[in-house]
Chains A and B, each alone.
Chain A
Amino acid sequence: MSVTYLEAIRAAQEKALQDDPKVFIYGQDVGRFGGAFKATKNLAEKFPGRVMDSPISEDAMVGMAVGAALDGLRPVVEMQFADFSTVGLNQVLNHAATTYWRTGRPCPMVLRLPSGGTPGSGPFHSQSMETIYSHYPGLVVMTPATVEDAYSMLLEAIRMEDPVVFCEHKLLYYHLKAESLPTEAVPAFRARVARAGRDVTCVAYSAMLHEAMAAAEELAGEGYETEVVDLRTVKPLDTDTILASVARTGRLLAVGESWPWGGASAEVVARVASEGFELLDAPPKRLNAKDTPIPYHPNLWAAHRPTAVRIAAALREVLRY
């Protein structure tokens, strides 16, 4: 008996619907159809009137969730693809994210974003949006990399009083499996050392964690021990765990699937450079996707994003300094 990353997301929503009558799910095709990825399969039947199809209106979907949240409900909005959340961006950044600061009334809602690249998905079905959402105050941005985190962090997100952008990676949906759903969880705002090592720190999150783990394995064969840190949540960023790791290794590579200008990997490097300068034995390095729209053809796509091979090469550079 095993459970996939996608099943964990579905199970978390089912549990949230069960536990709290204030929770409802809203999004395109999430009702009887069960969602484009089946993340809400059978939930409409089990919870009548609480899992509903929306029109193709990302702005209104989020605006509606803001109103419902302010009136005491806990909406979970599924964007069909993270890429389409740009259409609802105004309601997320200017409405959901500003309300608590402006009024003192929290706006508890979760925006689920099927994120990241998969082969053949191309420029408009592959994006990682955490950079944009993290830049704005008032939002929590989660980027779970494991089945356990997909489950426990989504539950925590739905219970949270603040608006949460939940970036779930499509590449992990079907293939990433765990034995069972977790019964206890590390708090969502804490990063996790996914693999211990003493030579170099590789900070990653979401699907990049698995590329980083493969790269660490490859380097182990060459005699280098890589410590892999899984950020889990990119905002707030657990700087302490990152600095503690760099204190052990003296070297840092930060990896992100998003584009190279700014973002979580830049923030990690900036913080370590600024707050942990004396810990470093080598210049901290970043690795991100190429600065072009995300390509369609698998050959191009594989070269566009950081992979285990590219991460290993970058780690060797940091180690060689």
Chain B
Amino acid sequence: MLRARTVEDKLASLYRAGRIVGGVYLGKGQEALSAAGGVSLQSGDVFAPLIRDMAGRLAFGEPLIDAVRTYLGSRLGPMRGRDGNIHRGDLSRGILPMISHLGAMLSATVGVLFAKRMRGEKGGVGLTCVGDGATSTGSFHEGLNLAAVEKLPLITVVADNGYAYSTPNQRQYACTDLLERAKGYGVEGHGVDGTDPELCLQVVGRAVQRARDGAGPQLVVGRLLRLCGHGEHDDGLYVDEKLRRSTRGRDCLAVMEETMKTRGRGRDWEKWKEEAQREVEEVVAEVSAEPVPDPFEENWRATLTEGATEALPDE
């Protein structure tokens, strides 16, 4: 959580300094729910994060440098400058690189789980994250229904953060709570206060364990608030002030800090914070010196098969 917040604060300032092209999408306020997913997974599991899952990624073991390299377009990053920001993934680590089309990663995660089952591999689970906006897509419906039909161990974590870009919940769905949908899909549902880190860990951990134990797909709905704009280009002024001041608007990191202090571990927290800051500064310095992609050296082929991408007449 702390590392995610620290690196994202740095990315936001790099964006404002003009060092990052394209969008910067932060998980501010969603770290607890996201990290709970990453922590609950094991090596061999598959993780399909969405745009606000820096915390989950780091908790699952994505190297922090992968994030910085992707944002700064380093040629050494997992996407080599071909794709940016939150679209990174590393299939060798079980992290699926998301596409921007919401809900699309559910069925892809199902596909990985399907492959594992066909090969007779047991015990692995897949976890994917979406927001409240994605639950309105056909992809979300098709993917969750498919997981349920196949009884595959898919955990779908919905971060219901009140807004899809600027559109509030009441223009997004008409049920009282997205958790109600679990019954309709025939999957187990778990609701959680997404601002409470320990509760998130407990609830998401339980959902992951249920899936691992063979109880089929799990739907987790965390209620929280996005504490920033949709991207760093957005001031998020449309967020209802009352909601900001409500418990839903609590900052999970502040909650964690408070808990640590109450337990007499305030000094540990400060130490972690400093460590995270140092790590981030070092990584940013390292990546800043790395080569960027060169269009003249780029292999402009979108296919692997010899001859499948044609050379253009001017090449």
Contact = CB atoms under 8 A, between A and B. Distances in A.
Interface string A45-62: 000011000110111111
Contact of B304 (A50, A69, A71, A162): A162
Interface string B98-141: 01110011111111111110110000000000000000001100
Interface residues of A, number: 51
Interface residues on B, range: 35 or more
B107 A71 contact: no
A138 B109 contact: no
Nearest to A67: B111
B142 A73 contact: no
Contact of A67 (B100, B112, B119, B308): B112
A165 B80 CA distance: 27
B209 interface: no
B176 interface: no
A98 interface: yes
B313 A63 contact: no
B307 A236 contact: yes
Of the candidates B79, B97, B109, B313, the one having the most CB atoms from chain A within 10 angstroms of its own CB is B97
Nearest to B139: A59
B307 A70 contact: no
Given A102-B87, A103-B91, A90 B112 contact: no
A162 B82 CA distance: 18
Contacts of A54: 146
A103 B78 contact: yes
Contacts of B101: 90, 94-95
Interface string A142-175: 0000000000000000001110000000000000
Nearest to B148: A55
A49 B118 contact: yes
A71 B115 contact: yes
Interface in A54-89: 54-55, 57-73, 75, 87
Nearest to A233: B308
A98 B99 contact: yes
B96 A90 contact: no
A91 B107 contact: yes
A60 B110 contact: yes
A103 B109 CA distance: 16
A100 interface: yes
Given A55-B142, A60-B145, A69-B111, A100 B302 contact: yes
Nearest to A63: B107
Contacts of B139: 59-60, 63, 90-91
Of the candidates B107, B111, B309, B313, the one having the most CB atoms from chain A within 10 angstroms of its own CB is B111
B262 interface: no
A189 B311 CA distance: 14
B127 to A, nearest CB: 13
B309 A137 contact: yes
Interface of B: 46, 78-80, 82-83, 87, 89, 91, 96-97, 99-101, 104-116, 118-119, 138-139, 142-143, 145-146, 149, 301-305, 307-310, 313
13 contacts: A55-B146, A55-B149, A57-B142, A59-B138, A59-B139, A60-B145, A63-B104, A66-B107, A67-B115, A68-B111, A69-B111, A71-B46, A162-B303
Given A63-B142, A99-B97, A101-B82, 20 more contacts: A59-B104, A59-B139, A60-B110, A64-B110, A65-B111, A68-B115, A70-B91, A71-B46, A71-B111, A71-B116, A73-B118, A87-B138, A90-B101, A91-B107, A94-B99, A94-B100, A137-B302, A139-B303, A237-B310, A275-B313
Interface of A: 24, 49-50, 54-55, 57-73, 75, 87, 90-91, 94-95, 97-106, 137-140, 160-162, 189, 236-237, 239, 274-275
